Structure formats: C-alpha cells, structure tokens
Amino acid sequence: MERRSIYEYRVRDVMSTDPRTAAPEETLSDALAVMRRHDFHEMPVTRGEEVLGMISYDTVLRRRNLPLTTRVDSILVRPPRVEPSDPLTHMAEYLIASGYRGIPVVENGRLVGLISRSDVVGILADTEEFAELRIQDIMTPDPQTMEEGESLGKARDLMRSLDERSVPVVDGEGRLTGVVGVKDMVEALTKGKPRRATQGERSGQKTALRVEVRSVMSAPAIVIGPEGSGAEAAALMRDRDISSVVVVEDGRPAGIVTQADLLEQVAALRRRDEVLVQISGLDEDDWWTYETLYAVIGRGLRRISDIARPTVFNVHVVTHRIQGDRSKYSIRTRLGTEHGLLIAGDYDWDAAQAMRKVMGHLERRIKRTKDRNMALRKGKKEGP
C-alpha cells in the first residue's frame, strides 16, 4: 500500500458531508436519541443553513440534573471556524484546543460538512509519518485504572480529574478486562428516563451512578503492544470505531493511546514558530490562574528550548477544595519534543508553584536525556 504524507491532506479530503443536525427548539432527549443512534459525540445545531453552535455529550455530563426536556439552544457550545481548505495539521490543533470531538465545516456561511477526531485518525493509518511512530514513544504510561466492582460515579469523577474520556477496567489481580467511557456513562444515565424533569429522574441519575462499571464497560478491550506503530493504533481505532487503545504487557495495562494523543502528534507536525500550549481543567472565569500559569510556562519553555525543541505542551489542572476557601492544585502535563514525549506532574497550594515544580522536573529530565545521548555518541566515536 502506498502511503501519503500528512501534509498533503486538507479538511475537505476527510470530512463527512451532509451531517446530521439538530434544530434549536428540539429537546435534549430527542437530540441525545439521535446522537446515540448514530454514535455522535457532538452534533451541529442549525437554523436553515446557518450554524448556531453544537450540542455535546461533555456538556450533558458537566451539567448536573439537566432535565431531558431542556431545549437544545439553551446548552449550545460555540465551535471554532473551520473551512474545507484548512490543512489537516491545523485541524488537529483546532480539535485539541477546543476539546471537541467534532467541528462543523463552514464555507461562505453555509454548513458543508463535519470533521471529527475519528475522521482525522482514520487517515493516519495510511500516512508515512505514523508508520514510523512507535507506540512506546507516544503512549501515556501506567494509566489510571478502575476495578470491575467500582461505581460509575467514581468513573465519572476519575475521567473529570484526568481530563480523559475512557478508563481501563481491571480485575482483582490487575488484569485488563474492559474499558469504560463517556458514551457508556451517558447511556447509563439517560437510558429509559422519563421526558419530564422530575424528582424521580434526578433520583434515577444517582442510582445509575452507583452501578458497577463491569455492567456498562466495553469488553473485551482493544489492545496493542508497546512495539506497535502509530499507524497500527490509528487503524484499530478506525476499524473498531473506538477512541482509545490500551497498551498491554503480560495482560496488564502498561499504557494507553487515545485519539487525542494521535492528534497531538499531527499538531506537532504543523510548522510553527511557537509551542502549542493547551491548559484544561480550570473554570473559564479563572483568568488570573490562566495568566499566571501561562507566564510560568513561557519562562520554563524558553529554558527547555535551549536544550531541546518543544512542539506541543498539554496541561491539565485539578482544583481540590480542602480548607474553606483554600484550594490545592494538582497539575499533570504532557510535553512533546523533537526527541519524544515527556510526562510530569506535581501539586501545591499555589498553582504557580505547582507549575514551577513541573517545569523543573521536565527541564531536568530533558537535560539528563541530552547528556546521556551525548555520552553515547562520544563513546561510539572513541570506539573500543
């Protein structure tokens, strides 16, 4: 099979045409029914050919006790503007920055298609760049897992804290038995619910959150080995219609690769002068913390760039309310560089201090890697 370079693709080459849409006056119940039936995570909301916004599974999960009679136009999210001529490397960046799994494609003010993570990942199996990419270089190692008997509510909280959409499930001996994801939870929380917002409906949601994950997880999990390629992982996601692949060694989870991980690699291929930085987990109105973290990150990346060229930096912040108005911040990061992927995290009562610790960890690890590589090259030159 002849492979193409990722740089040859445009949005028009991979987008889905004639997408399903919702009308602004539709109810949440009706929209979710369509999304479940067609396996959508987002769906455009339109008036005629005008795109008003999107409805998203994530919106439903974030809004507690949301009545199923809610009108769609009251919970819209605003997607970035995407056109058919945009390069695929730019499109990957839009998907990462927005956090959406799908974005409407608009031309001359008219909806012409929808491009999703799945659409982008689907073509990566046939690209030159991803055939050369090793799983062990892009996976998140030692993933957080859940045991089969733990609750759906705990799965929801874990996904929120990790900013992930799926979690591996293991048995009592740590062997992989399945995966639980956002779609599994939404179906469990909304299946068979009454159309009217009642106290019973809210009680039903609480009951569903106590259900064991073994009863709603997808099994068996789709897996790959650490020596596999990015193209193989993309092919599994495309052919099995899944958003993550668990990396296993001896039957136990050793890592996980998601659509978002593959998109990071696509975005890293975009030719740019600056590092793509994405911060998630903070409230939208917490602008002071955003600004503070960006300042710390900027200084840290300038120091790191003297050692190795960074490409993509993803930061997820979890705020723990512990003592009255005081909060403790836990920060988890993924830094893509020309030499591979680095993962680091730390915590502190002060968000900026937690970020400084993380940047210090990353800088020291990159320096050690550079020193080790230089020593190896020097040893090869000197010979036996």
Q: Which residue has the higher pLDDT, 218 or 99?
A: 218
Report d(CA 139, CA 358) in Å as an integer. Answer: 19
State the pLDDT at residue 245.
Answer: 94
135 versus 183: the higher-pLDDT residue is 135
Q: Would the pLDDT of 197 be above 50? A: no
Instruction: Please tell me the distance from the alpha carbon of residue 69 to that of residue 56, in angstroms, as a whole number.
Output: 16
Contact 249, 223 (CB under 8 A): no
More confident residue, 4 or 192: 4
Cα separation, 149 vs 152, whole angstroms: 9
By DSSP bridging, strand 146-147 and strand 166-170 are parallel
Give the pLDDT band of residue 323 (cuts 50, 70, 90). Answer: low
pLDDT of 384 reads: 57
**At a CB cut-off of 8 Å and minimum separation 6, what does 81 contact?**
106
What are the residue ranges of CATH 3.10.580.10 in the chain?
A: 7-116, 137-228+238-257
In DSSP terms, 53 is beta-bridged to 45
Predicted confidence (pLDDT) per residue in 223-282, tens digit: 999 999 999 999 999 999 888 999 999 999 999 999 988 998 888 887 666 788 888 888
Task: Give the global pTM.
Answer: 0.70
pLDDT tens-digit series, residues 325-362: 678 889 989 898 877 788 899 989 899 999 999 999 99
Mean pLDDT, the chain, rounded, equals: 84
Residues carrying CATH 3.30.160.100, the chain: 272-382
Which tokens sit at 88?
């695929």
Q: Mean pLDDT, to the nearest integer, of 288-308?
A: 90
Return phi, psi of residue 85, to 5°: -85, -5
Q: Out of 3.40.50.1370, 3.30.160.100, 3.90.1480.20, 3.40.50.720, select the CATH number for domain 272-382.
A: 3.30.160.100
Domain 7-116 sits in CATH at 3.10.580.10
For residue 232, the SS3 value is helix
CA distance 165 to 380: 45
Return the exposure string of 152-183: e unless at least 16 CB atoms fall within 10 Å of the residue's CB, then b.
bbebbebbebbbbbbbbbbeeeeebbbbbbbb
Question: Concatenated DSSP letters for 84-132?
Answer: TTSBHHHHHHHHHHH--SEEEEEETTEEEEEEEHHHHHHHHTTBHHHHS
Domain covering 137-228+238-257 in this structure, CATH number: 3.10.580.10
Average of per-residue pLDDT across 120-136: 92
The tens digit of pLDDT for each residue in 41-64 reads 889 999 988 899 898 877 776 665
**pLDDT above 70 (res 302):** yes
